[in-house]
Every structure is written in structure tokens, then in C-alpha cells.
A and B are shown apart, each in its own frame.
Chain A
Amino acid sequence: MSKQINVALIGNPNTGKTSVFNALTGLNQKVGNYPGITVDKKEGICKLSRGVKAHVLDLPGTYSLNASSLDENVVIELLLNKNDKDFPDVAVIVSDVENLKRNLLLFTQIKDLKIPTILVVNMADRMSRKGISLNIELLEARLNTKIALVSTRKNEGIQELKTLIENYKNLSIEPCLDTSTIDSEYFESLKKAFPNQDLYKLWVVISQDANFGKIDRNELDFSKFKTKSKSELKRLQQKETIKRYQFINSVLKEGQTIDATKATGLRAQFDRILTHKVWGYAIFFVILLTIFQAIYDWASVPMDFIDSSFASLADWIKMTFPEGGKFTNLIAEGVIAGIGGIVIFIPQIAFLFLFISVLEESGYMSRVVFLMDRVMRRFGLSGKSVVPLISGTACAIPAIMATRNIENWKERLITILVTPFTTCSARLPVYLIIIALVIPEGRFIGLSYQALTLMLLYLIGFGMAVFSAYILDKILKTNRKTFFVVEMPNYKVPLFKNVALTVIEKTKTFVFEAGRIILAISIILWILASYGPGKEFNNAETIVEETYPELQGEQLENKVAAYKLEHSFIGIVGKAIEPVIRPLGYDWKIGIGLVTSFAAREVFVGTLATIYSVGSALDDDKTIKNKMADEVHEDGTKVFTLASGISLLLFYAFAMQCMSTLAIVKRETNSWKWPLVQLFGMSLIAYVAALIAFQILK
């Protein structure tokens, strides 16, 4: 195999870096994780010419080499580690033609690391409209690099870029700025202390904020060198930035002319409406409503289709494979049901990411952050918490992943902790069946009680998220400083290719990451429900036949299944927790539902369906409902009353019943502390709320 050229794509956020990546690699790309952290690692293969390929790594967007987030830290770590297998042979810096000045800051820093560097000037199609003209030859000479003018929208310049990449060995590695001019005295002493090190690299390592510092400072022996205080270092960083801008300004003065009269005021016109004190919020509200509509209404068509397909697949397997075999049952009831439980969420997740990526690509999301920051801050959150909280109504897992761009750790942590309170789609089936059972069908000023209850549950979930954020803000103490800088990008028509790839990639991540856990748990649950200790479980058929000699056929089978479940491992667990949940108005059967729900909430309905011996009529909603409505306690009182129903609704609204979310929180916070806080905190709130509701209403 011929050696591949390692290419690293680097650039500021909002420069169309991902579009360049997509143009280079097409569908030849995959998304993984950097080891140990959850920053997405996007890499792909690009064919340059016959027999020469490039391995392209799309690094997270960054404004400079000074990391202020985990994502940015990845860039520095890679560029400082020559031994990393992804260490680039050539760095491609993607810049936006409309903001060359700021983009060049990062360019000069990368260049000073002495890595061969190509400058991509992206969105070149906007140049004439904005009245920008560039003297490419002069810029190439002054910056000591090669420039590719690219327009991903018009698919121009990509071939030229590929040629430049292929000939990377001709690129100069001359730095732009002599580092020692920042502070000659300090850098002189630095040079003396570490004669074998590259001065600029040394400086980058020294000046990194220790909060993120996985870069190993210990490699360097600082004992014989007196480091500067934090504020002195910062002063030097500021000096460095000023020096760089001086250089950049002098280059652009010659190489770039901007005809200001040609600049169109499209941004100002849009902003006037979209960030308006009244209209801005009104439009945001309408967009939210549309998203909800899509997630609940439009997604229900493919979801119903998936649901029925998996049900028939399970039936088909039961019919085709040896009847009654343990293996057949495991496949049909455990594995297929488990996979079906994951696949069913694909339409909702795809719709959600479709909207989110369109809103992000168009530049609108930054305006929402701007509008909401003040409101959210009152509760210890950030304007950037809005996106996760909205996403949480589909599923907490992608929502928690979406908190990554909140720079402030405390605000990010609070967002992660409270997001599971928002009503995710897994709660919906539980709500629907219980509302149908216990809420009367009347109407209140034209609105049905049942719909009102559902809406109330959404409001309760969101209210609880905000309220607990407020409490957490008071409790949690951190000494990390808050800072909030949001770039307001240009408005753009989203590129179809980018949106489509985001939707595919995020959906894939959900299916495989969360799916693995959900599948594993479904199998474990199936085993626990299908096996039991003692002779009650193993001789269930005989015992039931003797107790109910009048039963025949299906009725008998159902009774046996119910009896088995009662004496299975999971049934024993249900019985064991009964004393604890009695005060909430539940019996042991609901208890089993609660236990299985800790894997994933949506399991509840299916579990109850099995327990109430509905058997094969699983997909017939009415049957489950009728059976549940008829269910009575030993003393003859009904199990599902208004009191126990409300109590159950509140329990599901607040309890942390989702292992996948806990697993994601563990990964994102890198400790078991926070998922455990969530598990016990939320479940305690749920218990108390359900207890109070039942005791008052009964």
C-alpha cells in the first residue's frame, strides 16, 4: 500500500470547514471519538491522483491555538505531538473570505509550528458581491504559503486544492512571526533553559490554561526555570496577539481591497427582525412549534410503520423457527423487540437533527443564543443551553452531547444535569396510556382534558428543569470564571449535502452508541423475565392447570405466562419493592414496570402488556387499556384510579429512568458522581411528588 498523505483541516468555526471536508471526501468518511473524550473525530479518505490518497482529518473549529474548550484542545494536542499517527504532513487552514483578518491569526500560529501549511480561502463566490478583491500572488509571497480559492457552493477550486496537497513537499515552513520579539528577555531565558526545544512550541505549551491541560508539561523540566504568573503570561499572550495582527494588517493592506459600497446589508435586515425584542421571540416560538409538530405528527407515520414491521418480523420468526424454543423466543421477544425499540426513534431523531442542522447552518442558532442568554442566565444556564433543552424533548442523549459548545463548565454541567427533566419521546407512550386510563374525556373551553394534561406534563418537565437549574446554581460552587463569546455568523442558505450528512451521521451515532446499551438491557430483561428460581416458575403449567381447570387455549396460555412472570426473577424483584411503592398507589405489577423502566421508559407499556397477560394482542392498544382498567387490588378496589394515575404520571415526569442517558452523562462529565447524583436526586424528587399526589388525591 502506498503511503497516504496525512492532511489536517483546521479553521475557525463558521468558515465552511466541514463543507470543504465533505467536498474532499464525499461519503468516504467516518465519525469516531478521540480516545477518552467525547469529541467527535471526523476523518475521511480523498483520492488525489492515480495511486495517491490523502487521509483527511476534520479537526474541531478553533479560533486560535489557545484552547478554551475540550474540542479546541484536540487541535493543539495533535499539532504538538509529532508521534501521533494522525500528525499532519500538511495542514490546510480553511478561512472565510469575508473575515480573512481574523482567520489569518490562526494561520500564522499554525505556520509558526513549522508544519507545511496551505491556506484555503473559502466562499470565494461571495467576493464580488461583497466587493472584495485579493492579490493572491502577493498574499502567497508575504505569507509564504500556497493559496487555494475555493467555493464549495459552486464546487470550484477543490481540484486545485488537491493538487496543492499532493505537492505539499514544496511548501515553505518558514514561520510568520519571530516568537522572541514578543518579549526578548523572557524568550532569551527560555531558550537558555531548553536549548533543544522549538521556542514557539515551548511557548504554546507554557501558555495553555491548565484547566484543559492534558498536554504534558512534565515532559519539560521547569525546575531550573522560573515560570511567569498567570496574569503575566496572559499579558504576553495579548502582546503576541497584537504582534500577529500587526503583521496580518500589513499583509492585507497590500493584498486585499474592499469596496465598502458594494457590501450588501442583508445581515442587518435579517437581524433587525430575527433579534428584535418582540418579533425575535415570536419567530423563535413559531419555529419551536413547527419542530414539535414535526417530531410528534410527521414522525408518527414512519414510526407506526416501523412498529408494525418489527411486530410482524417477530411473529414471522416465531412461526418460522422451531416453536417454543428458548432461542427463538430470545430472538423474537428479546433481540427483535430490543432493536425495534431503538429503530423506532430514528424518525424523531432524524427530524430533530434535520431542524437543528438547518438552524445551525443558516446562522440562526446564534441569534437564538443571543436572545435567550439573559433569560437562561437567571437560572444558572447559558443562552447556549437552549439547544440541548429543545433537543431533550426528542431524546436526552443527543441533547447532552449538544452541551459541548458551552464554554463555561458550571453552566454546561447544570445543563447536563437538568436536561433529562424535559419530556423526552420515550415518556410519551407511558403518558398516553395512563392519560387515556385515568383522565376523563370531557372538554374545557374546547380543549380536551386529556390534551391539556399532556401539555401540562410537558410544562412540568420544562419547569422542573429550570427550577432545579436554579437550585443547582445556588449549590454548586466553581472558581472557574464565566465567559461568553458567541460569534454571529453570516446568514446562509444551508447546503443540502452538509445537512444530509449531519442527519445521517447523528442518527447513526444514536443507533450504534445508545442502541448497543438498549439492546443489551432488553436481552437481560428478557432473560430475567423468562427464568425464575424454584418450582413455582418451573412447574407453572401444572400449577395453573390445577388451580384453574376451567381455562382453555389462549386464556390458559396467558394465565400461565402471567404466573411465570410473577415467579420469574423480575417478578420477585417487583414483589420485593412492593412495600416501598405501596404508598404511591402501585402494586407489584406496576413495580415490575418501574424496574424495567429504569432501562428505558418506553419499556413500561410493553411490560405491563405482558404482565396483564394480554399476550399476543400486544399492538392492540385498546386491549391493554381495558385490561389495565379492569385491574383490581386484592381488596377489590381499582388499581388505576385518578390518584394512582396522577401519581404514576408525576413519577415518570421526574424519575431518572434511562440507563443510556446515565451512560452518556458519565462519558460527558468523566465521572460517576454526576450520573449518580441524577439517578438518586431525580428519583427522590419523583418519589416524593408521586407520594404527595397519591396521598392527597386518594
Chain B
Amino acid sequence: MSLTIADLKKGERAIIIDSSSEDIPLKLLEMGCLPGNVVQLLQLAPFHDPMYLNINDSYLAIRKETAALIIIDIINE
């Protein structure tokens, strides 16, 4: 099974592979959640939800259910 943003650990960075699921709001794509862009997990609320991310230099929080739809490739640093 492929990794998603929901699998990220705090501080980890990843490259977005696919964000074409129909349930991802367009607004998120417009904020830069597109294939090839970098995403980093900055903070987690209790129960890992919502997730506070840096996507393509935009700082935003999304719910875990949405994060689980965005497929990524973790950058090993």
C-alpha cells in the first residue's frame, strides 16, 4: 500500500506523488498540493488530527481523512 500524508511523522518531508482523488477539495490543490511539490509535517493535534503542514511553502492544517488521500514518497534525509 502506498504511503500518504497521514503516515508522515513530525518533521518528516515528502514529495507529493498523486493528489487526484475526487474527495480532495480543489482549494487544497490551489494551495499547491500538486504532484512534485514538497510537503512537511510541522505539528500534530492530539489523536494526530488535524495535521499542520507546509505544502509548497503554504502553511495549512487539514484533517487526517483528507491527508490520507494524498499519496507521497518520503524523502530520506
Interface residues of A (CB under 8 A from B): 63-64, 66, 68, 99, 101-102, 105, 231, 234-235, 237-238, 241-242, 245, 267-268, 271, 275, 277, 366, 369-371, 373-374, 377, 383, 481-490
Contacts and interface: CB of A to CB of B under 8 A. Distances in A.
6 A-B pairs with the lowest CB-CB distances in the bound complex, closest first? A483-B25, A488-B59, A486-B61, A64-B30, A370-B61, A275-B43
Contacts of A267: 59
Given A237-B29, A374-B49, A483-B27, 18 more contacts: A64-B27, A66-B27, A99-B57, A99-B58, A105-B30, A234-B22, A235-B20, A241-B29, A245-B34, A370-B61, A373-B63, A374-B45, A484-B50, A484-B66, A485-B25, A485-B27, A486-B50, A488-B52
A394 to B, nearest CB: 27
B60 A486 contact: yes
A177 to B, nearest CB: 14
Contacts of B45: 275, 277, 370-371, 373-374
A231 B30 contact: no
B32 A488 contact: no
Interface string B16-33: 000110110111111110
B18 to A, nearest CB: 11
Contacts of A237: 26, 29
Contacts of A489: 59
Contacts of B50: 370, 373-374, 383, 484, 486
Contacts of A238: 19-20, 26, 29, 34
Interface in B1-52: 19-20, 22-23, 25-32, 34-35, 42-43, 45-47, 49-50, 52
A483 B66 contact: yes
Nearest to A489: B59
Interface residues of B, number: 31
Contacts of A374: 45-47, 49-50
Nearest to A486: B61
B7 to A, nearest CB: 18
A105 B30 CA distance: 8
Nearest to B64: A374
Nearest to A105: B30
B57 A101 contact: yes
A466 B23 CA distance: 28
B61 A488 contact: yes
Nearest to A372: B45
A213 B63 CA distance: 26
15 contacts: A99-B57, A102-B57, A105-B30, A231-B22, A238-B20, A271-B43, A370-B43, A370-B45, A370-B50, A370-B52, A370-B61, A374-B47, A482-B63, A483-B25, A487-B58
Interface of B: 19-20, 22-23, 25-32, 34-35, 42-43, 45-47, 49-50, 52, 56-63, 66
Contacts of B26: 64, 66, 68, 234, 237-238, 241
A199 B58 CA distance: 30
Contacts of B49: 373-374
Contacts of A234: 22, 26
A120 B16 CA distance: 30
B42 A268 contact: yes
B46 A366 contact: no
A587 to B, nearest CB: 51
A484 B30 contact: no
Contacts of A102: 30-32, 56-58
Nearest to B22: A231
A377 B29 CA distance: 24
Contacts of A366: 61
Contacts of A485: 25, 27-28, 31, 60-62, 66
Contacts of B32: 101-102, 245
A134 to B, nearest CB: 15
Nearest to B28: A485
A486 B56 CA distance: 15
Nearest to A271: B43
Nearest to A490: B59
A63 B27 contact: yes
B30 A277 contact: no
Nearest to B58: A102
Nearest to B65: A482
A547 to B, nearest CB: 69
A481 B57 CA distance: 27
Contacts of A101: 32, 56-57
Contacts of A484: 50, 61-63, 66
A366 B52 CA distance: 11
Contacts of A482: 63
Nearest to A483: B25
Nearest to A363: B59
Which of B20, B32, B63, B66 has most chain A Cβ within 10 Å? B63
A267 B26 CA distance: 27
A266 B27 CA distance: 27
A481 B60 contact: no
B55 to A, nearest CB: 10
B13 to A, nearest CB: 14
Given A485-B60, A488-B59, A271 B30 contact: no
B71 to A, nearest CB: 14
Contacts of B56: 101-102
A15 to B, nearest CB: 12
Contact of A68 (B23, B27, B59): B27
Contacts of A371: 45
A370 B61 CA distance: 7
B17 to A, nearest CB: 14
